[in-house]
Amino acid sequence: MTARPSSTLANQSPWRLRRKYFLRASSARWALIILAVFFFTGWLAPWLANDQPWYIQLNGEHYYPAFSTQKVYTTPEGEVLRLAETDWKRLKFESVIWAPIPYAPGKTDRWNGYLNAPYKGPFDAQYFQHPAAGKQALSWRFRHWLGTGRNGEDVLSGVIHGTRSSMGIALGAMLMATLVGLLLGSLAGFYGDNRFRWSRGILLGVALGAFGGFFLVFGRKAWHWSSAEAMENETNWGWGLLSFLLLLILGGVFGKASEKLGRWWIAPVRLPLDASMLRLLEVFHAVPHFVLVIALAALIVTPNWWSLVLVLGITSWTNIARLVRAELFRVRELDYLEAARSLGLSNGQLLWRHALPNAISPSIVAIAFGVGSIILLESGLSFLGIGLPPDQVSWGQLIRSGQNDFSAWWLVVFPGLALLFTVLAFNWIGEAMRDAFDPRTLPGSKRVTETTEEEVIQDIQS
Amino acid sequence: MLVYVLRRLMIAVPVMVAISLGAFLLMNAMPGDPVDRWLASGGNTLKSSPAALQSEKQRIRSQLGLDLPLFYVSLASWAHPDTLYKVTNAKKRIWMGRLLENSGNWAAVERFGHAAWAYAEGVQHSEQGEYLKKRLSRIVQISDLSEMRQHLDSLYGKASNGCLLSTDLCTHQVIFLEAFDNLASGSQWKTWIPWVHFHRENRYHRWLFGDGNWWTGKGGTHSKGLLRGDWGWSIRTREPVGSRLMGRIGWSVFFTLLGIVLALAISLPLGAWMARKANRSFDRWTGALVLLLYSIPVFVAAVALLMLFANPDYFSWFPVAFFDSDRLPPQASTWDKLLALLPHLVLPLVTYIYGAFAFLSRTIRIAVIEVLPANFIQTARAKGLSEPRILFRHALRNALLPVVTILAHVLPAALGGSVLIESIFSIPGMGREMVMAVGYRDYPVVIAIVTLSGLFSIIGYLLADLTYAWADPRIRLSKTSA
């Protein structure tokens, strides 16, 4: 039997070490727990908090309304139950299992809110109207644990469903920002201003392809982009993007073929990727992030999850791009990369397999902080009323509704706490990662660079 | 140094142009008809007769420059006229555009389109039955040519004797059928040929240079142009954007500056002290507290403060609404005004300070920690200086350099960026103006605020870099070698 290799420093990969150092911080462990709770709450929100029961038995038949995609039920007596509209708590069932929080977000409970007595606090007496016996105290099973809004909307249910929108939008937007940031940052950092060369033929082909694609998507249907409504309703963005990419590739292929034509077509042209990316970065960086986001949000006719992901994603990539670029500037000068190049690896392989894995750790830290800040941005937008539409609950919106009546503190405190803990958890994770990724904390590894000041200088230089 | 400044300026100018251009082109695509919003913002000034309303709309359109193409260059197809943008109704424009895409003959599309649209509108206001109205006005929803042919055939019958539905339809028979024949026999291939149009007169040009002579500005009627300080008209308030923003910028600057100064006054000693006690319990606890503060969203804190301290249920210490000098008696002196203003400032300032303070003290802590192991600190210690003196005179001074950079970044951002605080405390500043402008889709104001905040940021960054270059000789030195 062979002995398992003992875990000496020599056979521990840097990532394993980093994970170890990361988990050593108690704040990071807490943050992971908090985030797991929030993540699963958001994921399971439609089943955790729903006014449709999990299970009902009605006239001998079994139904599972909360899990079913069937929207309309007909009982044997011919009574029609519409999932969205039915007031399930008025119905008589033979047996029933309610969701843990038996309220849907944003739905009116007219006995614990509404015109006669808006806003019930978590500690206030709550009532329901019994068909026969009249006004009665609400049993604990149907209590609004975190109070209600003006029209009796359950706050706990709102917070749970708000988790879903906040987490979903923030993670989606961060994914998009990461992809864009990594792409632009690594192109700029790895190739710099001098290393990216295309032959004249390819350059012309791609430029022509881009022109053609632009013409197909926008030019030919110029009336589409006369207004945002037209762009949203008329333009088929999927096909547009696809045909654009197709033409681009086609242009590249023809360009490559044109290199056979002669000397002139082969002559390489230098593309200043780094300088152009930096200018773009500066444009995005100069307008304050929140101002940029609300300006772009004004362009959207009917806001939804996807539009918010788009708006937040295309404005949040700058940090990641900047960090990846700075790291690649350092990494690409290292000897091992030179060695890999001398082995004849292509630029793509060098970048993807060798340079990027060693340049990515600062941007992973930035991603953790970034998700937190995107959550803040999203709830800020909803708070101002330009985020999600009113029929989709989010934390910011709940807090906004608390602004109408200052005595309803529960409308601010509970969503505010949820927001606070999520952001705090992401910040903790970011901090712990930063410490764990710091080369100074890795025993046995030499510090490769001097501290951040060097990078600052580098940044100002460029 | 001069070369460095010039180099920076040469980079800053194109970035500025790019920001203004991007903001202008994007924000002009805001959904909805600006003319309708302009009319709605004025209250009860609607003209009684449709004709008067039309001419009023036309006047507003030319005042806002909406009768011009967007930019100097536009890419369209060969069949595309450079007059489609003049069709003001967005639905009509899209419908005619689609017809054009299927036909390729603009003259026929124009003839048919205008006639059919006018007819369909007339039908809507006529006394016909609902079913008939629906059928007759379907013309303007069809853009497919064969479908249109079928629809016309079914309206008029196979023989052209089918004026059974309405006599009105008969009078349009000739124009519909004739124009449609032209339209259907158009040269559709023309829509596949790219065509670049150039426009000397366009909205961007007018926004920048006004509608007079671009250099002298003479002869303009509607706008003097941005370069002469004219930002255009606000749709929401019907005021010039420039003067509107001028009245707003003061409050934003006041709060931002005061907030930053107060935040620095707290965070400088705190950050330095945390650095001195780095990784000990004081540092850990304060660090955790500061991170906690930093994580509380500004708007949650602001609403919570209002709930607690501006609420008769708990402590009614401060007012909810912002200071309004009109409420004071007219003979009130400046001193009285200041005194009345003070309680309005407390809660907003607290909100301003706590966010910046958390961020700044963390930054200062890190900067001081980096400086502390330096040789000159050892020297100071060897000289026998007291520990606070070393910390605050020697270490902090050298750690201030990154703080200067951050300040230069924070200032311009806060100028346009305190959107949430201003909205909550109803401070009439730039951020609140931005929210109201976005809510009303008042795009000239949005363009102006985005461009202005970009301008301020670029000036701020420029100043920061220059300060840095001035303070740290390594930057200038390594520049020449690069």
Q: Look up residue A173 and give its DSSP letter.
A: H
Token pair of A186, please?
A: 């690594």
User: Is residue A310 predicted with pLDDT exceeding 80?
Assistant: yes
Say if B480 falls within a structural domain: no
Inter-chain CB proximity B30 and A299 less than 8 Å: yes
Residues of A in contact with B412 (CB under 8 A): 288
Report DSSP letters for A438-461, one per residue: -GGGSTT----S--HHHHHHHHHH
pLDDT at res. A64: 83
Q: Chain B: nearest CA to A28, how far in angstroms?
A: 13
Buried b (16+ CB within 10 A) or exposed e, B54-74: eebbeebbebbbbebbbbeeb
Q: For A423, which of B30, B297, B313 is closest by C-beta distance?
A: B297
Token pair of A135, please?
A: 């006004």
Say if B236 falls within a structural domain: no
User: How far is residue B172's CA from residue B259's CA, in Å, rounded to a whole number?
Assistant: 69
Same domain, B367 and B349: yes
**Residue B310: strand pairing partners:** B316
Residue B27: closest C-alpha in chain A: A299
Same domain, B188 and B209: no
Higher pLDDT pick, A234 / A386 = A386
Residues of A in contact with B443 (CB under 8 A): 298
User: How far is residue B107's CA from residue B113's CA, in Å, rounded to a whole number?
Assistant: 10
Say if B14 falls within a structural domain: no
Q: Taking chain B, what is the end-to-end CA distance rounded to the nearest angstrom? A: 15
Query: Which one of 1.20.58.190, 3.40.50.720, 1.10.3720.10, 3.40.50.920 gives the CATH number of domain A12-48+154-196+272-462?
Result: 1.10.3720.10
Distances (CA, A) of B78 to A101, A160, B83, B181, B479: 62, 55, 13, 21, 51
Give the best residue of B67, B110, B438 to mutate against chain A (max A CB count within 10 A): B438
Token pair of A229, please?
A: 């409504």
Give residues 297 to 326 of A whose Cβ lies within 8 Å of B. Answer: 297-299, 301
Per-residue model confidence as pLDDT tens digits over A360-370: 888 999 999 99
For chain A, the structural domain boundaries read 12-48+154-196+272-462, 52-98, 108-152, 197-270
Distances (CA, A) of B452 to B20, B22, B228: 9, 13, 15
Which residue bears the tokens 């709550």? A126
Token pair of A213, please?
A: 């694609």
Say if B478 falls within a structural domain: no
- Contact of B64 with B28, CB cutoff 8 Å: no
Residue A222: closest C-alpha in chain B: B76
Q: List all residues 6 or more positions away from A194 whose beta carbon is below 8 Å from its beta carbon.
A: A270
Strands A61-63 and A72-74: unpaired
Residues in chain A: 462
User: Is residue A252 predicted with pLDDT exceeding 50?
Assistant: yes
Distances (CA, A) of B304 to A178, A407, B314: 34, 11, 12
Same domain, B178 and B208: no
The secondary structure element, H or E, covering residue A248 is helix A237-258
User: How far is residue B112's CA from residue B96's CA, in Å, rounded to a whole number?
Assistant: 9
Same domain, B204 and B250: no
Rounded to 10 deg, the angle between the A155-191 and A361-384 helix axes is 140
Say if B275 falls within a structural domain: yes
pLDDT band at A461 (very low <50, low <70, confident <90, very high): very low
User: Is residue A4 predicted with pLDDT exceeding 60?
Assistant: no
Token pair of A403, please?
A: 């602004």
Say if B482 falls within a structural domain: no
Q: What is the pLDDT along chain B (482 residues), one digit of tens a residue?
A: 778 788 888 888 889 999 999 999 889 888 888 888 888 887 655 556 777 888 888 888 888 888 888 889 888 888 887 677 777 777 888 888 888 888 888 888 888 888 888 888 877 777 777 777 787 778 888 888 888 888 888 777 654 455 555 666 677 777 777 778 888 887 888 888 998 888 888 899 999 998 888 888 788 788 888 888 889 899 998 889 999 998 888 888 888 888 888 988 888 888 888 888 877 888 889 888 887 887 788 899 999 999 888 887 778 787 777 777 666 667 777 787 777 778 888 888 998 888 778 888 888 888 888 888 888 888 888 888 888 888 888 888 777 777 777 777 666 666 655 889 999 998 888 899 999 999 899 999 999 999 998 888 888 888 877 777 777 666 654 544 33
Which residue bears the tokens 């192109």? A187
Token pair of B24, please?
A: 């202008």
pLDDT at res. B48: 66
What percent of chain A is predicted at pLDDT more than 70? 87
- Contact of A199 with A396, CB cutoff 8 Å: no
Buried b (16+ CB within 10 A) or exposed e, A358-397: bbbbbbbbbbbbbbbbbbbbbbbbbbbbbbbeeebbbbbb
pLDDT at res. A451: 40
pLDDT at res. A10: 55
What percent of chain A is predicted at pLDDT more than 90? 36
Which range has the worst mean pLDDT, A89-93, A247-251, B394-398?
A: A89-93
pLDDT at res. A226: 67
User: How far is residue B302's CA from residue B255's CA, in Å, rounded to a whole number?
Assistant: 15
Higher pLDDT pick, A137 / A309 = A309
Residues of A in contact with B398 (CB under 8 A): none
- Contact of A388 with A165, CB cutoff 8 Å: yes
Which range has the worst mean pLDDT, A197-206, A444-453, B113-122?
A: A444-453
pLDDT at res. A421: 93
Q: Considering only CA atoms, which of A249, A274, A263 is closest in space to residue A199?
A: A263
Alpha helix ranges (H) inside A215-236: 228-233
Q: Taking chain A, what is the end-to-end CA distance rounded to the nearest angstrom? A: 58
Segments of A102-226 assigned E as strands: 127-130, 134-137, 197-199
Higher pLDDT pick, A122 / A81 = A122
Same domain, B218 and B247: no
Same domain, B149 and B186: yes
Q: Cα B123 vs. chain centroid, distance in angstroms?
A: 40
Same domain, B99 and B208: no
Same domain, B169 and B257: no
In chain B, the largest separation of any two C-alpha atoms, in whole Å, equals: 113
Q: What is the dihedral of CA B30, B35, B41, B44, to 10 degrees?
A: -160
Q: List all residues 6 or more positions away from B107 whose beta carbon is below 8 Å from its beta carbon.
A: B182
**How many CB pairs (< 8 A) connect A and B?**
208
Give residues 346 to 385 of A whose Cβ lies within 8 Å of B. Answer: 372, 376, 379-380, 383-385
Token pair of A408, please?
A: 């309803």
Residues of A in contact with B474 (CB under 8 A): 457
Q: What is the dihedral of CA B256, B257, B261, B266, to 10 degrees?
A: -10
Inter-chain CB proximity A220 and B14 less than 8 Å: no
User: Within 13 Å of residue A97, how many CA atoms lie on the same side as its CB?
Assistant: 10
Higher pLDDT pick, B139 / A458 = B139
Q: Look up residue A145 and give its DSSP letter.
A: T
CATH (domain of B277): 1.10.3720.10
Radius of gyration of chain B (CA): 32
Q: How many domains does chain B have?
A: 3
Residue B284: closest C-alpha in chain A: A27
Say if B434 falls within a structural domain: yes
**Residue A137: strand pairing partners:** A127
ipTM: 0.86
Which range has the worst mean pLDDT, A100-109, A295-304, A343-352?
A: A100-109
Token pair of A192, please?
A: 């710099």
For the residues A259-277, what does the mean pLDDT come to? 90
Which residue bears the tokens 């070698």? B481
pLDDT at res. A122: 81
Print the domain residue range for B251.
242-471
Same domain, B191 and B205: no
pLDDT at res. B250: 85
Same domain, B129 and B159: yes
Strands A197-199 and A268-270: antiparallel
Q: Look up residue A215 and give its DSSP letter.
A: I
Say if B367 falls within a structural domain: yes
pLDDT at res. A445: 43
Residues of A in contact with B291 (CB under 8 A): 424, 427-428, 431
pLDDT band at A374 (very low <50, low <70, confident <90, very high): very high
Inter-chain CB proximity B30 and A451 less than 8 Å: no
Token pair of B41, please?
A: 């913002």
Backbone angles phi, psi at A270, to 5 degrees: -85, 130
